[in-house]
């Protein structure tokens, strides 16, 4: 049976070129960068080149890019350590109600420890309002943490406007760009971003490696302390093979490639929506079809709970998800959709996320639309039968 993967927002398969890069490095570069001998020196140069690739991708300076084990570690480092080091200047933080758990959990933890955290609500398209943000901003706000785009709906957040507003405020601006890197061009300087998090495994790179961008004027203590790697900001033997893999994956998503994929994804999304309509599936888009990352589409498939539909589609060979992978393991309702539709639990429970990737063809999307239509119609018929 052919298998189709539509869960690229959870993780992406590693690109063959990236596996090659990692394999080569695992064989060739086994030295420890911290060693003084030759191995160390040669690898330091290659490390610098890899850092440059990432720095260029987001328009950061070379000394502003750090490697971590992934976005979750980056988010934890930025939020916890900013709170710790700036608590004398203020104890107020602003975030949104729909962040990834690695932001939400840390914020909730800080709230328990006596910090005042504002969780901005979202409208039914899944984004925050600038009016709400302005109203929440206070003189003692030390950090604003808002994702570039939501991981379940792809809905974009008003990053540019917030960056503009914060130009005249002492609060630091953190953006979790885990879902955005590689599918959209990010310029931290233009957007006024002080901190940014991202992961390699969302852009066809390996798991276990991530990025932390830190404006050079923002000083926070390390979360992982020990040796003097990463300019004393992140301890642990430098993971060269995965860093090179990350840089390779980033190169494969350069701006020319991004533009190509944006067009392909948008076409595939339009095709999917068109076909579902033609096949008589009753559905609605969660979020905003146009104001979203190009590869994510969240749909309310009316009449069939996602915990029924998804296992059936899985049997048919289609891998997709309800919430994010990180909350999907649990049976909880999606916190993102709940925030968007607080009075419509049925909608929350009948929604699925389709996230496209390089390995999807237009024919795959057509097959998906047919599979959904078949399963939905079958489910409705069997329900009607049961009723009669």
CA distance 180 to 9: 10
Residue with smaller CB distance to other proteins, 35 or 170:
35
Q: Can residue 30 be called a binding residue for other proteins (CB under 8 A)?
A: yes
Q: Can residue 305 be called a binding residue for other proteins (CB under 8 A)?
A: no
Per rule CB under 8 A, count of chain residues that contact other proteins? 74
SS3 content of the chain, % helix, strand, coil (to 5): 45, 15, 40
Residue with smaller CB distance to other proteins, 44 or 138:
44
Q: Where are the beta strands (DSSP E) in the chain?
A: 4-5, 65-68, 92-96, 116-120, 141-145, 172-176, 195-199, 210-214, 283-286, 296-301, 318-319, 351-355
Q: Which of 326, 342, 381, 382 is catalytic?
A: 326
Interacting positions 275-304 with other proteins (CB under 8 A): none
Considering only 239, 338, 351, 360, the residue that binds other proteins (CB under 8 A) is 239
Considering only 91, 138, 207, 380, the residue that binds other proteins (CB under 8 A) is 207
User: According to the 3-state scheme, what is the secondary structure of 62-124?
Assistant: HHHEEEECCHHHHHHHHHHHHHHHHCCCCCEEEEECCCCHHHHHHHHHHHHCCCEEEEECCCC
CB of 135 to other proteins, least distance (A): 28
326 is catalytic: yes
Considering only 131, 329, 386, 387, the residue that binds other proteins (CB under 8 A) is 329
Using the Cα atoms of residue 21, residue 27, residue 28 and residue 34 in order, give the sign of their dihedral: positive
CA distance 345 to 338: 7
Considering only 208, 218, 264, 373, the residue that binds other proteins (CB under 8 A) is 208
Pick the stretch among 156-164, 165-173, 306-314, 340-348 that binds other proteins (CB under 8 A).
Answer: 306-314
CA distance 158 to 180: 13
Residue with smaller CB distance to other proteins, 70 or 154:
70
Residue with smaller CB distance to other proteins, 209 or 368:
209
Considering only 2, 27, 168, 384, the residue that binds other proteins (CB under 8 A) is 27
- For residue 165, what are its two tokens? 């507003």
Q: Can residue 38 be called a binding residue for other proteins (CB under 8 A)?
A: yes
Strand partners, 143: 93, 172
Interacting positions 51-110 with other proteins (CB under 8 A): 68-73, 75-76, 100-102, 105-106, 109
The two most distant CA atoms of the chain are separated, in Å, by 80
Residue with smaller CB distance to other proteins, 81 or 266:
81
Residues known to be catalytic:
326
């Amino acid at each position: 049976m052919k298998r189709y993967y539509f869960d690229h927002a959870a993780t992406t398969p590693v690109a063959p070129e990236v596996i090659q890069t990692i394999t080569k490095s695992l064989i060739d570069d086994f030295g420890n960068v911290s060693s003084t001998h030759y191995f160390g020196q040669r690898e330091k140069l290659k490390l610098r080149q890899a850092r440059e690739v990432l720095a260029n991708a987001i328009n950061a300076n070379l000394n502003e890019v750090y490697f971590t084990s992934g976005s979750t570690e980056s988010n934890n480092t930025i939020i916890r350590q900013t709170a710790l080091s700036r608590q004398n200047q203020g104890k107020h933080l602003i975030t949104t109600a729909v962040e990834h758990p690695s932001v939400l959990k840390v914020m909730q933890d800080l709230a328990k420890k006596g910090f005042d955290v504002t969780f901005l609500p979202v409208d039914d398209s899944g984004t925050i309002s600038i009016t709400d943000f302005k109203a929440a901003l206070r003189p003692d706000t030390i950090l604003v943490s808002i994702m570039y785009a939501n991981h379940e709906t792809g809905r974009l957040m008003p990053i540019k406007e917030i960056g503009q507003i914060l130009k005249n405020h002492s609060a630091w601006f953190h953006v979790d760009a885990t879902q955005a890197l590689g599918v959209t061009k990010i310029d931290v300087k233009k957007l006024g971003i002080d901190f940014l998090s991202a992961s390699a495994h969302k852009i066809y790179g390996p798991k276990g490696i991530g990025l932390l961008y830190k404006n050079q004027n923002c000083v926070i203590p390390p979360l992982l302390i020990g040796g003097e790697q990463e300019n004393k900001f992140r301890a642990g033997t430098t993971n060269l093979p995965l860093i090179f893999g990350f840089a390779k994956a980033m190169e494969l998503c350069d701006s020319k490639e991004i533009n190509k994929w944006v067009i392909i994804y948008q076409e595939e999304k339009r095709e999917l929506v068109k076909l579902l309509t033609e096949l008589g599936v009753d559905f609605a888009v969660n979020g905003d079809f146009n104001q979203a990352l190009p590869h994510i589409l969240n749909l309310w498939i009316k009449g069939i709970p996602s915990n029924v539909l998804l296992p059936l589609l899985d049997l048919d060979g289609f891998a997709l998800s309800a919430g994010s992978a990180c909350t999907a393991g649990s049976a909880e309702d999606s916190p993102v959709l709940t925030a968007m539709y607080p009075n419509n639990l049925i909608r929350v429970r009948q929604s699925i996320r389709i996230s496209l990737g390089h390995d999807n063809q237009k024919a795959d999307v057509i097959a998906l639309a047919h599979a959904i239509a078949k399963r939905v119609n079958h489910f409705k018929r069997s329900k009607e039968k049961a009723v009669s």
